[in-house]
Amino acid sequence: MATVLGTSASSSSIVAMLASRSLSSYSTTSSLPSFSPIPGFGQGRKFYGGIGVKVRKRRSQFQVSVSNVATETGPAQEQAKRLVSTESQRPVYPFSAIVGQDEMKLCLLLNVIDPKIGGVMIMGDRGTGKSTTVRSLVDLLPEIKVVAGDPYNSDPNDPDLMGIEVREKISKGEELSITLTKINMVDLPLGATEDRVCGTIDIEKALTEGVKAFEPGLLAKSNRGILYVDEVNLLDDHLVDVLLDSAASGWNTVEREGISISHPARFILIGSGNPEEGELRPQLLDRFGMHAQVSTVKDAELRVKIVEERARFDRNPKEFRESYKAEQEKLQQQISSARSSLSAVTIDHDLRVKISKVCAELNVDGLRGDIVTNRGARALAALKGREKVTAEEIATVIPNCLRHRLRKDPLESIDSGLLVIEKFYEVFS
């Protein structure tokens, strides 16, 4: 028995000696600069219950103090960051290189010019480039002013688009750190959980600091940006309810384990799908401002051109994107110019009356059709560089604004654009 006790005692003393030696060696070497093959990272050792675990410590060369709100960096540093993030991203097919599908491209551009149009629903055959076109929109998105370090992309000038923390800072008279960032596009996967979409409790803070903290979800990330749902007609009903609530109010309210928090969630909702795989709930369909119908290209020459362009992109994406750089920049300038001149575009009262007459004679439920048609016509006029809306702009956008609002019979096709055009010429003639 004494031998056993002596052995255990000696082993425990050895463990204590090794632990103290490790601790003393760590404390003496931690003050020295550590060198690592990766710049900005150092290697150290943390102890959890006497067990040494290697960790990586990041050293920031721009921030002096640790804060939960990022400080504003200089223009050269911001440009370097954007360049690094752009080069590290997966190459995106250029928007200008997409052949055909003019209706879909126009609806997307009008929503970027005026986000209050309410998004676009794209329905069509599989393999027609719906998701490719939507994701190619990323390169054309303009920059917006946001509060630096804010998880909700709060607008420093619009209280309706501010998070609660930013409002409190303004009420206290604190100065906000403002930075420019591109409009964000967030993908909502079909298998996403409700907690990931709405936000949930920050488990890390709860365990380490013992406080209840909110971890923002995809709705917070998409505020003032674009929320894209591929195969939206296959989305689970509980996620559809979440999108309906946020799209209606522009705010997302989360009730989780004693935490009640609300944050702005105004986004451009873009959905795509194949009608053969299932229909969309009427409540969600009505929330889309515009509807674009996509069909397979029948012209043999255009099909060959599409195949050749895609082959070029797959061979060398960087070279292919460079060949369309001038067209992309030109289109980006048109969008920026249209966004800045949108408020100056006017529409005559008699044209507004005729738009409402078309909606009334087509038995369109509610007034969303009237509002979206007016907004779409103004956005198209701004894109064309006009200061006044004409009947030409209205004729272009009115089928996309009213087509998906006419279906009364479940067996009727969603494509009622011809009926809208006939009624338009009957009223505007």
Give catalytic residue positions: 368
Alpha-carbon distance 132 to 137, whole Å?
A: 9
Alpha-carbon distance 417 to 407, whole Å?
A: 11
Q: Which pair of structure tokens corresponds to residue 216?
A: 């923002």
Instruction: Indicate the helix (H) or strand (E) that contains 48.
Output: strand 41-48
CA atoms within 13 A on the CB side of 237: 2
Alpha-carbon distance 121 to 115, whole Å?
A: 14
Checking phi first, is residue 128 left (phi over 0); if not, alpha (psi -120 to 50) or beta? alpha
Q: Which pair of structure tokens corresponds to residue 10?
A: 């000696």
Alpha-carbon distance 129 to 364, whole Å?
A: 30
Q: At what angle do helices 325-341 and 368-384 cross, to 10 degrees?
A: 120
- Which residues on neighbouring strands pair with residue 253, listed in sequence order? 262
Residue 101, exposed/middle/buried by CB under 10 A (0-12, 13-18, 19+)?
buried
DSSP 255-301: EETTEEEEEE---EEEEEE-GGG-PPPHHHHHH-SEEEEE-----HH
**Cα-based torsion angle of the residue sequence 65, 70, 74, 78 in order, rounded to the nearest 10 degrees:** 130
In this structure, which amino acid lies at residue 310? R
Residue 406, exposed/middle/buried by CB under 10 A (0-12, 13-18, 19+)?
buried
- Which residues on neighbouring strands pair with residue 57, listed in sequence order? 42
Go through 376-392 and write b for each residue having 16 or more CB atoms within 10 A of its CB, e for each that does not: bbbbbbbbeebeebebe
Strands 226-230 and 185-187: parallel
Alpha-carbon distance 125 to 6, whole Å?
A: 80
